[in-house]
Structure 1
């Protein structure tokens, strides 16, 4: 008998996915001693004690079984109240709110619930590294619409409309944006709403950084006239409430869309962790003061960090939200990958090369300023030394 050729067991779709560019640099940084990491987007605050205490109490009281698939009813009620209070948008907690395992799962569920094979989903670049792979895994085709650093990465509605075809199903927007920190203006939101209505599109609005908006009042995509029925709002507790490791997010959407997402969630995940849900319940009930203190701290760090980058010759716009600076490294003549790798190996400062967020991120690096002021000062000192050698 001839020896049989071994089958390729891994899905072709998965085999073609690129590993996360953020994680590659994070793993490299973790193998070196003395590294200051400005790479991973994680608050440097510990989750507030009242939230931790609520979760501990739930554990002590034996609340260790499954919750309803969609999440604790009282948590869904609090999420609906939070969205009404903060963003003036109404959702029915029983049928239009879903508690998920992080905002990332909510994004995955949203795409799998709406995408048919070959459907196109528009991404606004630079964009979070998970969007494109999640569209591909759902069977869709990602279509990138670029923004420019020269325009502070503002949304070009003309370019966006030109990208729409008969196969376009949805647009994913992130505001405040990861990695640029850009916040969609009311004019941009209104323009996107008109475009979505004219072309019968859905909008998946990633609003995980909404609590970290520094100037003015935040406007949710779902709150724009005519958009509640076209929007899947995705958010969670990781960023604003410093609960990254709790892995808890939520989605809010019209009943038809939300129930489709719930159907997938029932089979894939059953429910979000019970103790974490009790912690999130406390976060919504008592966490606003802590969120405000964190936001004010990030604002101070943003102002200092961005001013320092500009002074050392790395042009950087002032981000309106999130906790990322996205400076240009084009004056150095290096690519984003070259700059990030050399900075890490030569000065032990970890940043993320901008090209992992799409081609329009080339020539930039993402720096998280969710670190202590002392660490930011030392990181800037090392970066300045690195630039001097160049």
Structure 2
């Protein structure tokens, strides 16, 4: 049977994730130091796990409302009011999803149609472009640059807008670069968005992980932007809850109603046990966030300093838990660098091209691993660079 004739062309055309390709290779090798996946090395805080366990012990294993537990939606809304001074109605403007990934997919599918264009700054997380294609829309890529701290500029945005442009995806704090957008940056972007009557998907999954005294600002808090923004967030990164698979979307009720409808028929409801745990995380998890953030910050400074000392120029990341060093000085492509490093030293990084073609010449390194793990990795990368230098001089 010719399955290519039977399967959906838009999905056939999408390449598998570049992150997962290296992740799969690593899983087949022994004794690899992997800095390739954004998987916090912390366990979910005990009081959060305990809330999930208690819900199971009490037999609370039934379906939840499609939108998510009323109490959880209430706590999410309180969190965004307390942290980012944004106001949402928990009964009509909040949706609990299976991870932030479902929320992103859902939002894109509810806001774009065939023929629409979606603006995607890159380098950025791997899912935006494929999900846009699978929704039938056209991704329009905007290359952010290290000299601009990987921030999207209003000039870059204006240049890419056409009469087909419908949606801007704003992925900050950014994976893979660690770049952030500050209030003045967002105000400039907001003027362009309002001028062209665009919608915005603001992926804020790393909102709690900003450094050097910087604090995340949501574009939804900029004047005139609340009504045209869908905010995406979740529990994976801030609370070390990756395996609980819980995210959420905040949006005007008209948009949220469409997202609930799609969620209702595709998913029905997010995991019950995870929702009970998330309620506890939001109520009593601020100290956990600060503890983990402090540890990430220490690791960030160590890794950035180490990379710069060994000659891999590294932009100073101010958010998330990734570094994006430039490896152009080695003469290798991003893929060659990561492949040879893995084969030679059993250290796994991700090629920058996994996050867009403009990531060529860079690699992503996650520092959400123990300092012992990171010290060994830095030692081995330094050895690898010395071997490359000797090879080139030989």
TM > 0.5: yes
What residue in structure 1 maps to residue 28 of structure 2? 31
Runs of 5+ consecutive residues of structure 1 not aligned to the other structure: none
Runs of 5+ consecutive residues of structure 2 not aligned to the other structure: 389-394
Secondary structure of the structure 1 residue equivalent to 2:41: coil
Task: Kindly report structure 1 stretches of 4+ aligned residues shifted beyond 6 Å.
Answer: 4-7
CA distance in structure 1 between the aligned counterparts of 2:49 and 2:104, rounded to whole angstroms: 26
Decide whether aligned partners of structure 1 residues 258 and 29 sit closer, same or farther in structure 2, where only a CA change above 3 A counts.
Answer: same
2:148 maps to 1:154? no
Q: CA deviation at 1:216?
A: 2.0
What residue in structure 2 maps to residue 102 of structure 1? 99
How many pairs align? 387
CA distance in structure 1 between the aligned counterparts of 2:144 and 2:80, rounded to whole angstroms: 29
CA distance in structure 1 between the aligned counterparts of 2:43 and 2:120, rounded to whole angstroms: 32
| TM-score (norm: length of structure 2) | 0.97
- Contact kept? 2:327, 2:362, Cα under 8 Å: yes
Decide whether aligned partners of structure 1 residues 220 and 6 sit closer, same or farther in structure 2, where only a CA change above 3 A counts.
Answer: closer
CA distance in structure 1 between the aligned counterparts of 2:196 and 2:5, rounded to whole angstroms: 41
Q: CA deviation at 1:7?
A: 7.0
Secondary structure of the structure 1 residue equivalent to 2:208: helix
| Candidates 295, 303, 306, aligned match of 1:305 | 303
Spell out the pairing of 1:309-348 with structure 2 (5 A cutoff): 309-348=307-346
What residue in structure 2 maps to residue 234 of structure 1? 232
Decide whether aligned partners of structure 1 residues 60 and 334 sit closer, same or farther in structure 2, where only a CA change above 3 A counts.
Answer: same
What residue in structure 1 maps to residue 86 of structure 2? 89
| TM-score (norm: length of structure 1) | 0.98
Q: CA deviation at 1:78?
A: 0.4
Spell out the pairing of 1:160-199 with structure 2 (5 A cutoff): 160-199=157-196
CA distance in structure 2 between the aligned counterparts of 1:140 and 1:66, rounded to whole angstroms: 33
| Candidates 358, 361, 370, aligned match of 1:360 | 358
Please give the per-residue CA displacement for 1:238-277, whole angstroms capped at 9, x wherever unaligned. Answer: 0001000000000000001111111100000000000000
Decide whether aligned partners of structure 1 residues 200 and 385 sit closer, same or farther in structure 2, where only a CA change above 3 A counts.
Answer: same
Please give the per-residue CA displacement for 1:123-168, whole angstroms capped at 9, x wherever unaligned. Answer: 0010110000010111110000101123321222112111001110
Q: CA deviation at 1:8?
A: 2.8
CA distance in structure 1 between the aligned counterparts of 2:93 and 2:4, rounded to whole angstroms: 44
The alignment's C-alpha RMSD in Å is: 1.0
CA distance in structure 1 between the aligned counterparts of 2:350 and 2:4, rounded to whole angstroms: 36
